[in-house]
Amino acid sequence: MGLLSLAIWTPIFFGAVLLALGRDEHARAVRWLALLGAIISLLVTLPLYSGFDNATAAMQFVEKAPWIARFNVHYHLGLDGISFWFVPLTAFITVIVVIAGWEAITTRVNQYMGAFLILSGLMIGVFSALDGLLFYVFFEATLIPMYLIIGIWGGPNKIYAAFKFFLYTLLGSLLLLIALIYLYVHSGGSFDIQTWHDLPLARNAQTLLFFGFFAAFAVKVPMWPVHTWLPDVHVEAPTGGSAVLAAIMLKLGAYGFLRFSMPIAPDAAHEWAWLMVALSLIAVVYVGLVAMVQQDMKKLVAYSSVAHMGFVTLGFFIFNDLGVSGGLVQMIAHGFVSGAMFLCIGVLYDRVHSREIAAYGGVVNTMPKFAAFALLFAMANCGLPATAGFVGEWMVILGAVKANFWLGLLAATALIFGAAYTLWMYKRVYLGPVGNDHVKELEDINAREFLMLALLAIAVLAMGIYPKPFTDVMDVSVAELLKHVAVSKLN
């Protein structure tokens, strides 16, 4: 068993053990076992960084074994600079989510923790899969634990939100499956994704494949106008569910564009880039304006996620190194920042049981330590220099200006909207005199919550101050991808 298999199956193993052994009367032991499993799963991913060679665009840590021999399907794993950082990011966020749910979840604790650990392994599988069918299995399997997390531990309308999440993402994925089967037949019976990258495909076939991929990945990102499921799901999901959804699951769709849409259908990707850029800019500008009028904190951050992911898809489809690298950096940074924003909302919700902005006011007076963390994450969400939120957005804006000045200018306006809605929310919730008796009785964060927020704060600042380790890993792979996409595959 190689390092990638360990990264995938270690959290799944611990999750299965929790489901089999845990009971609510042993909740304390269950929580510690879940934390142990999450930490071990994170430690397993660390040797990947020390063993990764930045100088090559080839797949590394490759594992390949027959799976369904009759149809030439393989258990085929590997990482390159594009997919690398999402493996440790997923494991890190899982540790944070286990800590976050320590006291908030009191029923079916083993199932809650087990679902997150299994989900972690499945998401790492998506980023590691080099076989088309294996990718599809992992991609669809992630829906099951998240569906259960929303449907069991969610808010009053949790069943509606869980069904909406499941149906939206499943319907898009059916077109992905048809595209994968077409490629399997056209390649002479191979599910190898890298083989598909070199297929000579006619323009019509490329266009159909591009929109087949688009149906699955755009819903997952989610791009405008198929983003409407996200705010409902975020509002109803438990805090940990919202954090993982924003930090990792949205990235599965964006990753799909880089692994499938652009390299397999490069001519269609260039032909329809105007549409992708237009939809991205609508997400960045229009959805940013929608975020401004939200009264529910979770809805505001959910719309903020749609706007920030618009930067990612914009960066990818301007086809230059700054744009694609910036999009990838933005995906990682958004994982830290949006996860932190949702966890901060969870800290307040656990105490007051309201997500309405109007239910707060002057929180800084009773929770000064917490308000300091919340300010840092709010500034990162605005794209303040020296925070993770700045690096990716700045690279994408530079890449957009390189492609077209007016495109860059329009994208840059989003930073103004981002600052407006984030700081306005911070002002109304945290600043000023104490708003009501609920706020007056609040107690500052405990040691567990401090640890959870401190880990995220360190990640946000470290990435903002010194992003070189992140960009160094991806540079060669991004250059190779752009070189590949620049060459026509028309037969």
Please give the chain's pLDDT, 491 residues, in tens. 688 889 899 999 998 888 888 676 677 788 888 889 999 999 998 888 888 888 887 888 888 888 887 887 888 888 888 888 899 999 999 999 888 888 777 788 888 888 899 999 999 999 998 888 899 999 889 888 988 888 888 778 888 888 888 888 888 788 888 888 888 888 787 888 888 888 787 888 888 888 888 888 888 887 777 777 778 888 888 888 888 888 888 888 889 888 888 888 888 888 888 888 888 888 878 877 887 888 888 888 888 888 888 888 888 888 888 888 888 998 899 888 988 988 888 888 888 888 888 888 888 888 888 889 999 999 998 888 888 888 888 888 888 888 888 888 888 887 788 888 888 888 888 888 877 878 788 788 888 888 889 999 999 999 899 888 888 888 888 888 888 777 665 65
Token pair, residue 103, equals: 């006291």
Q: Tell which residue, 34, 5, 184, has the closest CA to residue 99.
A: 34
Q: Give the per-residue pLDDT at 421.
A: 85
Q: Give the per-residue pLDDT at 117.
A: 92
Q: Give the per-residue pLDDT at 118.
A: 92
Q: Is the pTM of this model over 0.85?
A: yes
DSSP code, position 431 = S
Number of Cβ within 10 Å of residue 469's Cβ equals 12
Q: Angle at CA 223, nearest 5°, toward 79 and 242?
A: 75
CB-neighbour burial class of residue 458 (10 A; exposed 0-12, middle 13-18, buried 19+): exposed
Q: What share of the chain is helix, strand, coil (3-state, %, to 5)?
A: 75, 5, 20
> Using an 8 Å Cβ cutoff, are 471 and 325 in contact?
yes
Q: Give the per-residue pLDDT at 122.
A: 92
Q: Give the per-residue pLDDT at 12.
A: 92
- Helix/strand/coil for 188: coil
> Using an 8 Å Cβ cutoff, are 105 and 153 in contact?
yes
Q: Give the per-residue pLDDT at 489.
A: 59
Beta strand 60-68 pairing with 73-79: antiparallel
Q: Give the per-residue pLDDT at 457.
A: 92
- Angle between helix axes 132-141 and 109-128 (nearest 10 degrees) is 160
Q: Give the per-residue pLDDT at 24.
A: 67
